[in-house]
Chain A
Amino acid sequence: MPSPNALTLQEMILRLKQYWGERGCIIQEPFDMEVGAGTMCPETFLRVLGPKPYRTAYVQPSRRPADGRYGDNPNRLYKHMQLQVILKPTPTDVIEQYMGSLEAIGIDLRKHDIKLEEDNWESPTLGAWGVGWQVMLDGLEITQFTYFQQCGGIDLDLIPAEITYGLERLTSFLQGVDSLYDIVWTPGVTYRDVRYTDELQYSVYNFEAAHVPTLWKLFEIHEGEARRLIDLYADSTEKGRYPLLAAYDHVLKCSNLFNTLDARGAISVTERVGVIARVRKLAVGVAEAWVDQQAVVAASAEVAA
């Protein structure tokens, strides 16, 4: 039964941003490209590398072409929103801080059941893994909590905590609605009003309309550009201004194209492993160059000082 006092979706987002902002996080806006998860944004993937402490929080719309259901399924979305928090290094009271964020959005934890159940995370395309939990609130998974150990195949200098809230799930729980489409975005506007058309049209595109040869061509173009940039970095004479972020954009394009081709059923079993390895190679290439570039930048800053 819908509960009238619950926060709207946008109020909840604002409260969480407020909460983490007060705890030293840079509040970023969503990354302006298609990604499968908040982890893939440079704000996480690149910032967790190297010895520099960093704290950030941002909402990231995350696209998973295979999860599209034409807007028919009440619990499944092609594009959902994650609220991503990175705390590097991890504060010792990180779990207490996280629980505080739930209180901040109106959950009285003394009246609810919260459990941290083992759930480790691995992304073969990013060469990344970590250990952690899924956080269960009254039987519902509301958050993924991960201590990153490796990213882009590189052991991390400082272990960050990554806290990923599934915003639609959390809001539907708080609002007591049975379908994600019934979530109140802001009074008088439902999630359906805002998002249904996206869900329908992208499902049609991803499952039916996407032109497979064109997607492959795009994949190769982006792969080529990423590869070219990564390869030229080593001999660059001006490493500090080398456009690795642009190289990474092309890696993300590849990742999304791979996901779309996969949803379209265009990647055979034998190809699949190979294509994942191609994307991973690019991600690892950018990560390695990035760590090097950060060291170069830090060294020249020291000289200047």
Chain B
Amino acid sequence: MNFLLEIGCEEIPDWMLAGALEYLGGAIVDLTKNLRAGEATIRTDATPRRLVVRTEGLIPRQPDSEERVWGPAKSAPAPAVAGFAKKQGVDPSQLEILSDGKAEKYSYVRKTPGRATVEILAESLPQLILKTPFPKTMLWPGKGGARFIRPIRWVVALLDNQVIPFEITGADVRSGNESSGHRKLGAYRFPVTYENYEEQLRANFVILSADERRKRIQAVPTKYKCDNDLLNTLVNLTEWPTPITGNFDPSFLDLPGEVLTTVMKVHQKYFSVEGANGKLAPQFVAVTNTDGDPDGLIRLGNERVLISRFNDARFFWDSDQKRKLSERVQDLANVTFQAKLGSYLEKTNKVVDLVKELGGDAHAERAALLCKTDLTTELVKEFTELQGIVGGLYARTQGEPEEVATAIYDHYKPVSMEDSIPRGRTAQLVAIADKLDTLRGCFGIGMIPTGSKDPFALRRAAQGVVKIIVEGKLKLTIPQMLGADTALKEFFFDRVRYYFREVLGFKYDEVNAVLKAGSDSLVDVEQRLAAVQQVRPTRDFEPLAAGFKRINNILRDAVLDHNELLDPGRLEVEPEKALYYQYLDVSKKIGSLPDYVSKLSLIASLRPHVDRFFESVLVNAPDPGIRTNRLLLLRSILNEFSTIADFSEIVTTSQENK
């Protein structure tokens, strides 16, 4: 049997459709697990006003089920047996006497007839629907009502075109066979069947398939700059999308491209258009939820809105120039950074100090002083996503040195792991100082991110610092940056691990090995990781790592005086002497080697000696003096050669196979 569920809702926020469909699809699969013949194929679709699940192959009834129930023992008195029979609703003569494996007992096979699928669905669907998880729900029509993202206004629920009857609890909405069309172009209500559902929607100006809506948007002849986030938003904001191309006065191209693009994309949800020269063209593409714009009214309206937005931007730009950024520093006293951490003026002073502390030059200090001042400008108050960028543009206009302007422009970067890092040393230092100040401040007042709660985006800030340091190859050390806050260090190192593993693709055990060896510089950590990665496939490396792990285990249980020294004279047998001389030889040469790869290769050359040692030497010698001396030899090797990476952290192939 075919199944169709359409939850008709007032406009659902575009970014919530995917999550709702994922839940609904999964929930319907679970619900119909025992109600189908063969594999489940589920199709889920959504428009802003409907969440739809369709599936086929349901069976009309649940299979009948049988269950053997055990009663009293064979020896039980008659009343007990009669009681058991009565409870099962049968005559005592219908009971059997069987062994349950331990004893002979009265028993009965209870048969439960399968319930009709339509009944099960009718019973389960109301709660299943209302349990759809949304980030922020609303109650309607009042106390004791229902909760959903927006009010549900109709529900289509069909099983082979028979209505599955139910009511959405508290919401006064009953399931039926009537859907609803496009708000303006379609019919308010019309009946549908499983077979004609999509076709009926289309006749009422609703394109159910998101892919098809996407294609319609992409079909515009104008060559616009495709932005996938915006495209998805528009797909999820429309039921019948039709793109239109509008124009604006080329004189607005005097305004910075960043401002124009932000107005178009963020505020108006328009695609911007590129001319042949790669520069912005005085055009835009808007996506309407209509079947066209024959009179050009929609284009005209959108053009006028855009022009007034651009005029706003120009007005703000001009009036902002009346006061330079340098005159706005004190105004930051009136802009809150965080209630407990005070104003942006306080933050600015701390960032300036931090820039000095981290070795910034005069340009960096100047940029740190000015970097937040654009928060007091009209343009940023209006277009908050342009913070930093506007400051940079103004700084350039107002004659600040290029390094200062760039540092202000870039200091929020990187805003994601895909974003590039700030351009140049000055900008990198200012960006790091700003983020570190936020991290230190928030950790200082106990605002530590937990789970999904991270209102100040501290993870992103820490991740940004790591990315800038490693990609920019900055020499800043961890203690310089983080001070003594252990919680912050732990948090930071989580981001360090994440970065090296997920962004740069090192293996987790390599990252553990290098971080455990201890290094204050992330640039150094990266060089070591690269070396470990390069040397790892060589013949000797992993066996040596296994050897180091063995040494580590032996030493962990051993009692050794820290001051005791190895006595070469007491080395007894050949393999331990050979290991000792090799150890001396390696440690003498290693200092003069230029890089980690050659050092690691040299250390790996210890492998045959370590292997032979373990094959033929008994560490746990009966003579305590000899035993201690052997342990001391192993300790020396471990200490001397674990400084680049702690090899005992490397997971060797044989271990993985276990």
Contact = CB atoms under 8 A, between A and B. Distances in A.
Interface in B147-198: 150-151, 153, 172, 183-185, 188
A144 B462 CA distance: 38
Nearest to B173: A92
Contacts of B301: 112-113, 137-140, 173
A269 B346 CA distance: 11
Contacts of A138: 297-298, 300-302, 305
A169 to B, nearest CB: 10
Nearest to B299: A138
B311 interface: yes
B304 A110 contact: no
Contact of A92 (B145, B153, B336): B153
B142 A269 contact: no
B150 A110 contact: no
B153 to A, nearest CB: 6
B605 interface: no
B143 A268 contact: no
A294 interface: no
Given A131-B136, A268-B334, A178 B307 contact: yes
Interface string B334-345: 111101001100
Interface in A84-105: 89-90, 92, 95-96, 99
Nearest to B382: A76
Given A110-B185, A114-B183, A269-B336, A74 B142 contact: no
B138 A149 contact: yes
A112 B298 contact: yes
Contact of A147 (B140, B302, B306, B343): B140
Given A111-B297, A116-B11, A117-B237, A147 B342 contact: no
Contacts of A272: 336
Interface stretch (A153-161, A205-213, A246-254, A297-305): A153-161
Contact of B13 (A92, A118, A268): A118
Contacts of B298: 111-113, 138
A147 B136 CA distance: 13
A295 interface: no
A305 to B, nearest CB: 24
Most buried by B among A76, A109, A140: A140
A73 B297 CA distance: 26
A162 to B, nearest CB: 13
A178 B304 CA distance: 8
Given A138-B298, A139-B301, A159 B312 contact: no
B10 A114 contact: no
Contacts of B290: 112-113
Contacts of A92: 151, 153, 172
B306 A139 contact: yes
Given A73-B315, A159-B142, A268-B334, A133 B339 contact: no
B398 interface: no
Contact of B343 (A75, A114, A269): A269
Most buried by A among B142, B286, B335, B342: B142
Contacts of B142: 51, 89, 156-159
By DSSP majority rule, is chain A's interface helix, strand, loop, or mixed? mixed
B330 to A, nearest CB: 11
B295 interface: yes
B40 interface: no
Interface string B1-44: 00000000011011000000000000000000000000000000
Interface string A128-154: 001101000111100000010100000
B311 A118 contact: no
A273 interface: yes
B311 A268 contact: no
B10 A95 contact: yes
A166 interface: no
B268 interface: yes
B97 interface: no
B343 A113 contact: no
B172 to A, nearest CB: 8
Interface string B398-415: 000000000000000000
B179 to A, nearest CB: 16
A31 to B, nearest CB: 26
B280 to A, nearest CB: 18
A214 interface: no
Contact of A96 (B11, B143, B188, B335): B188
A75 B648 CA distance: 68
A49 B288 CA distance: 38
Given A110-B184, A138-B301, A269 B342 contact: yes
Given A90-B140, A159-B140, A159-B145, A268 B333 contact: yes
B338 to A, nearest CB: 10
Contacts of A120: 136
A83 B305 CA distance: 21
B181 to A, nearest CB: 12
Given A96-B188, A178-B307, A113 B138 contact: no
Most buried by B among A99, A115, A139: A139
A92 B171 CA distance: 10
Interface in B188-244: 188, 237-238
Contact of A75 (B10, B238, B312): B312
A216 B155 CA distance: 56
B571 interface: no
B237 A90 contact: no
A27 B142 CA distance: 24
A113 B311 CA distance: 23
Nearest to A156: B142
A270 interface: yes
B307 A133 contact: no
A90 B184 contact: no
Contact of A111 (B188, B268, B295, B312): B295
Contacts of B275: none
Contacts of B342: 269-270
A127 interface: no
B136 A269 contact: no
A24 interface: no
Contacts of A156: 142-143
B268 A139 contact: yes
Interface in B263-311: 268, 270, 286, 288-290, 293-295, 297-298, 300-302, 304-308, 311
A267 B307 CA distance: 35
B297 A112 contact: yes
Given A115-B237, A157-B142, A74 B151 contact: no
Contact of B143 (A116, A133, A157, A178): A157
A90 B141 contact: yes
B213 to A, nearest CB: 14
A106 interface: no
A256 B193 CA distance: 57
Contact of A133 (B11, B305, B308, B315): B11
Nearest to B315: A73
B322 to A, nearest CB: 12
A131 B138 contact: yes
B448 interface: no
Interface string B42-65: 000000100000000000000000
B590 interface: no
A99 B307 contact: no
Given A110-B185, A113-B298, A158-B141, A178 B308 contact: yes
B619 interface: no
7 tightest CB-CB pairs across the interface, nearest first?
A138-B301, A118-B13, A113-B288, A116-B11, A158-B142, A139-B302, A269-B343
18 contacts: A92-B151, A109-B184, A110-B185, A111-B294, A112-B298, A112-B301, A113-B288, A113-B301, A115-B11, A116-B11, A138-B298, A138-B300, A139-B286, A140-B305, A147-B140, A159-B139, A269-B343, A270-B343
Given A116-B48, A133-B11, 9 more contacts: A112-B290, A114-B289, A115-B11, A118-B14, A131-B138, A155-B139, A157-B142, A159-B145, A269-B337
